[in-house]
Amino acid sequence: MADTASGQILRDKVAIVTGASSGLGRAVAVALAGKGAKVAMAARRMDRLQEVESVIANSGGVSISVKTDVTQRAEVKELVRHTEKTLGPVDILVNNAGTMYYTLMKNVHEDEWEKTVDVNIKGFNNSIGAVLDGMVKRGKGHIVNMSSDAGRRGYLGLAVYSGTKFYVEGLSQAMRNELIGTGIRVTCIQPGDVTTELFQHTTDTEAKEKYDVHEKTKILEPEDVANAVVYAVSQPGHVGVNEILIEPREAPL
């Protein structure tokens, strides 16, 4: 039962957050646990997950860490199996793990294109594939996909990344409509620039100098985006928050 009086509005809910070892995923995991959800956190860096686990435990929350490479379908299936055995059936998937490289198409950084597709598309699919059947059988569930404002507009220097986020948007729109009548909700969160480690992977200095402006204006904090996720998953059952576009005030779409 949700305990709204104490603010534990997600009490008894089980959530999986992929990419919880840093940035948005970390903030989302802490925020969901703060509202009473039991959270399974997935990523490859266990030391970082365990640090988040301590933060959550120190605030009286419940979480587990599961080492997972989302590009490996079997590992994601095992993440869900272990979560259900340990915490219970999954109510919420925050499909957040992702990567990004500023790069110009003409510079042909094909390895980075491939890594982006592997995590942002294949890993994204693997996560949905591992929870959806159970949600359909239980007649409830909420899939929150971490898209981007780059899922609404192709950004210069981010062509492949934007392409992957258009994929997230297209799949989410179709799936949301396909799942009408099943009790499952699908939300896309579309943040603009947020202070995370996402910007550290770029090797294409030409693209970075031209188009990476994240240090030039006040951008979002991970907690701003976590608040949007909490809003989406806290609405009454008949409400579908289809998408939330959240931008730095000084950098609108």
70 lies in the binding site for ligand NDP (CB under 6 A)? yes
Catalytic residues: 161
69 lies in the binding site for ligand NDP (CB under 6 A)? yes
# of chain residues touching ligand NDP (CB under 6 A): 31
Q: Which of 128, 198, 228, 232 binds ligand NDP (CB under 6 A)?
A: 198
Q: Which of 8, 14, 15, 23 binds ligand NDP (CB under 6 A)?
A: 23
119 lies in the binding site for ligand NDP (CB under 6 A)? yes
25 lies in the binding site for ligand NDP (CB under 6 A)? yes
Annotate the chain with three-state secondary structure. CCECCCCECCCCCEEEEECCCCHHHHHHHHHHHHCCCEEEEEECCHHHHHHHHHHHHHCCCEEEEEECCCCCHHHHHHHHHHHHHHCCCCCEEEECCCCCCCECHHHCCHHHHHHHHHHHHHHHHHHHHHHHHHHHHHCCEEEEEECCHHHCCCCCCEHHHHHHHHHHHHHHHHHHHHCCCCCEEEEEEEECCECCHHHHHCCCHHHHHHHCCCCCCCCECHHHHHHHHHHHHCCCCCCCCCEEEECCCCCCC
Q: Which of 91, 112, 169, 193 binds ligand NDP (CB under 6 A)?
A: 193
30-49 positions binding ligand NDP, by CB under 6 A: 43-45, 48
103 lies in the binding site for ligand NDP (CB under 6 A)? no
When the beta carbons of 8 and 65 are compared against ligand NDP, the nearer one is: 65
162 lies in the binding site for ligand NDP (CB under 6 A)? no
248 lies in the binding site for ligand NDP (CB under 6 A)? no
Q: List contacts with ligand NDP (CB under 6 A).
A: 18-25, 43-45, 48, 68-71, 96-100, 119, 123, 146, 148, 191, 193-194, 196-198
